[in-house]
Structures are given as structure tokens and as C-alpha cells.
Amino acid sequence: MDGVWIFQAEKWVDSVVSVERHSKRVMVFRMVLDKGNWRRKKSFWNEVFHLVSCIPQNEKVLLAGDMNGHAGSSNAGCDGMHGGFGYGSRNADGSRILEFADGLNLVICNTLFMKQEYQLVTCAAGPV
């Protein structure tokens, strides 16, 4: 069976902003989480962790999206999951993403290669 599948807990339905199907294999799913609500973020990451951890180890996992965190330029303490080509300083959400990756033996792919200056920041609110 081909196509894109999205599983979402019912409690997150009101957070969905848009769903766009671009083809049988590409779909854009946008949701907004309250930035100040740490319990909701923790619950979100716990659910994602559970879903991804249920995928058999012989299958490939690609988790893509704007996780709203900064992994930073340093890969100190992150051997194997952070390639050392991030940007700026790590924030709390970036640490959470790295913990998630470490717990499931995943890699933050966009830290594995050097980028041009104009490619370092994809979205900025204020001066970079």
C-alpha cells in the first residue's frame, strides 16, 4: 500500500492548522502548539517517542518537520546523533530533540553537512 499516513491523538485535533496533500507520497501537516505549555510539549514528545519506538528496527525511520528547536553548532556529548554542523546555540527544545534522537538511536541529518551561510537559518523572527 502506498501513500502517506498520519496518526494523531484526538486531543491534538484542535491544534491542526492545515493538511495539504501534494501527491500520493508527500503531505504537509501543520499544527500549532502553545509555546508556553510544557506539559503539552512533553506529552507530544512522549507520544512521538512511543510511535517511533514501535517501528521495527529493520525499517527505516524518517521523522521530518520543524520541531521548533535549535540543536546548536556544538556536538559535544552528542556523538553519533549530531554531526557538528548546526547553527548557533542549543536551546531547551533542541536538547529535547537530541534526547529523543539519542533514545531511539536516530541522527539529526541536517547537522551532518556544512551549509552555505544563507542556508543556516530557514525561519527567523527578528535579527539573526
Domain boundaries, the chain: 1-32, 35-119
The predicted pLDDT at position 82 comes to 92
77 vs 41: CA distance, rounded Å: 23
Grid cell for residue 89: 546555540
86 vs 84: CA distance, rounded Å: 6
78 vs 54: CA distance, rounded Å: 23
The predicted pLDDT at position 55 comes to 86
- pLDDT one digit per residue (tens) for the chain, 128 residues: 466 677 777 877 778 888 887 777 777 777 776 655 677 777 888 888 888 888 888 888 888 777 778 888 999 988 889 999 888 899 888 898 898 889 888 898 888 888 887 777 766 665 55
Q: Which of 126, 94, 96, 91 is nearest to 110 (CA)?
A: 94
pTM over 0.75: no
Question: In the block, which residue shows the cell 536551546?
Answer: 91
84 vs 81: CA distance, rounded Å: 9
